[in-house]
Amino acid sequence: MTIKSITLNNDIEMPEVGYGVFRVEDGPALEQAVQTAIKIGYRSIDTAAIYENEAAVGKGIKSAIEAGLVTREELFVTSKVWNNGLTYDETIAAYDESLEKMGLDYLDLYLIHWPGNDKYMEPWKALESLYKDGRVKSIGVSNFQVNHLERLLSEADIKPVINQIEFHPKLTQSEVRAFCEKHDIHVEAWSPLMNAELLKNETIKGIADDHNKSAAQVILRWDLQHGVITIPKSMTESRILENIQLYDFTLSEEEMNRLDELNENLRSGPDPDEFNF
């Protein structure tokens, strides 16, 4: 199955649906799941240093390449630096460590994981150097609110291509999304299914029944129609496949509005303005 791509502000193509591995234990099961996802059609894989599973992700990628399922150039691999007050040099070292754990020569996207009480400008300068040196294809941020983005854009030489944020029908983050759209920064959703909590929502289930789709597919389709890149997680092959079967139906404007109206500004993760590691 072919997943559509979007063009980032540096003209790099990125798949609009990727495979996320948040809260998945490092080991053979994840290695196999990554290979399965690639076999099914995923080309974007998203991990992070703090997940402590980069090694299994890398092994899964290597296995898929060795099996002839894909080439490295066809993949879009993301990781993130856990910037708890890192210096410039420590950020560069963290990137090198991620590459070593994954057995890769480069990443397609490297993100600052959290703004961390305004501790992000020195790490960002390190990411800019990695990008200017051609060591990473794209750079971006995660969990940045408008105030963080305003400061970053005022001091940065290079604009982030991505802001990866918690985004789902209970947390629509309209202000952040509007700011990103204005500045040509793509939004990417983590926890798009709110840790599966939304799969029991009656409004979502009703819309899913009308389309003969699952609740998860409706939410992920809602992401795409909002122009938001999404990275659902599953370790089950049938659900890994289901999560990219999003192109044979469209939500109406009325259905999109009903889903938007579920917003309660409800987070399943930390508030970026308060989270300070």
* DSSP letter string, 123-135: HHHHHHHHHHTTS
What is the C-alpha to C-alpha distance for residues 29 and 33, in angstroms, rounded to an integer? Answer: 6
Residue where the block lists tokens 């020195």: 122
**Single-letter code of the amino acid located at 267:** R
- Contact present, 49 and 97 (Cβ < 8 Å): yes
pLDDT at 179 over 90: yes
pLDDT at 276 over 80: no
Q: Is 142 helix (H, G, I), strand (E, B) or coil?
A: strand
Over residues 86-114, the mean pLDDT reads 97
Average pLDDT, the chain: 97
Q: Is 102 helix (H, G, I), strand (E, B) or coil?
A: helix
pLDDT at 277 over 80: no
List residues with catalytic annotation.
51
Using one digit for the tens of pLDDT, what is the confidence trace for 191-246?
A: 999 999 999 999 999 999 999 999 999 999 999 999 999 999 999 999 999 999 99
Using one digit for the tens of pLDDT, what is the confidence trace for 122-161?
A: 999 999 999 999 999 999 999 999 999 999 999 999 999 9
- Contact present, 229 and 163 (Cβ < 8 Å): no
Q: Is 237 helix (H, G, I), strand (E, B) or coil?
A: helix
- Contact present, 14 and 229 (Cβ < 8 Å): yes
Domains and CATH numbers, the chain: 5-260 (3.20.20.100)
The pLDDT value recorded for residue 224 is 98
Over residues 51-71, the mean pLDDT reads 98
Residue 2: DSSP 8-state: P
Q: Is 44 helix (H, G, I), strand (E, B) or coil?
A: strand
pTM of the model: 0.97
Q: Is 219 helix (H, G, I), strand (E, B) or coil?
A: helix
Half-sphere exposure of 14 (CA within 13 A, CB side): 32
Beta strands 229-230 and 13-15, pairing class? unpaired
Over residues 153-177, the mean pLDDT reads 98
Encoded tokens for 255: 């259905």
Cβ neighbour number for residue 210 with a 10 Å cutoff: 13
Lowest mean pLDDT among 47-56, 113-122, 206-215, 244-253: 113-122
Using 50, 70 and 90 to split pLDDT, how confident is the model at 165?
A: very high
Chain-centre distance of CA 199, in angstroms?
20
